[in-house]
Amino acid sequence: MGKKASGNNYNSGNKGTIWINGIPILDCYKASIEKKIDYEEIPHPTKPGAKIRVEVGHTIEISFAFKKTLLTKVIDFESDDITMIMTDINNNNTVLSTTEASGITFDSTVIEAFEKNKVGEIEMSGQAEDMRKLI
């Protein structure tokens, strides 16, 4: 019989850290690295009239959002070689997984932005050439 996990061992999905080119984004409050698979439908080889999906490629999508601080000014989001490391942490502060995405290009870069009476927030999204699980 299986053992039930305690509340502190569940992956709540609400804690984590990211680093951009080795600089931690301490005020990051949301991040994801996602593999999106492209499929093509082809005729089934043994069932006439049926179709199957075959993977023809994929993209690696990254996104994150953070509160704007003085530290974020030292990060060069327009660099040719950007690497992001994302760590997922549970409620016990135990690292559950760490993933590295490299060769990142952003869809857009915020140069300046503000909203009166609000803490500045920046959302970034783009694609990576490669990713690998570190933990």
Task: Tell me if 8 is assigned to some domain.
Answer: no
Q: What is the CATH number of the domain that holds 90?
A: 2.40.30
To the nearest whole number, what is the mean pLDDT of the chain?
84
For residues 64 and 18, the answer to whether their CB atoms sit within 8 Å is yes
CA angle centred on 107, ends 101 and 111, rounded to 5°: 110
Residue 58, CB half-sphere, CA atoms under 13 Å: how many? 13
pLDDT exceeds cutoff 70 at 23: yes
Task: Tell me if 6 is assigned to some domain.
Answer: no
| Total count of domains within the chain | 1
First-to-last C-alpha distance (Å) of the chain: 27
Q: What is the pLDDT of residue 74?
A: 65
CA distance 37 to 44: 20
CA distance 86 to 29: 12
Task: Tell me if 7 is assigned to some domain.
Answer: no
Query: Where in the sequence is the domain holding 116, given as residue range(s)?
Result: 13-133
Task: Tell me if 85 is assigned to some domain.
Answer: yes
For residues 67 and 105, the answer to whether their CB atoms sit within 8 Å is no
For residues 107 and 81, the answer to whether their CB atoms sit within 8 Å is no
Q: Which residues are CB-neighbours of 129 under 8 A, at least 6 positions away?
A: 60, 102, 103, 104
SS3 81: coil
CA distance 131 to 62: 10
Task: Tell me if 29 is assigned to some domain.
Answer: yes
For 38-97, write each residue's pLDDT tens digit. 999 999 999 999 999 999 999 999 999 888 776 666 677 778 789 999 988 877 777 888
Task: Tell me if 118 is assigned to some domain.
Answer: yes
Q: What is the pLDDT of residue 80?
A: 79
Highest mean pLDDT out of 10-14, 27-31, 97-101, 117-121: 97-101
pLDDT exceeds cutoff 90 at 127: yes
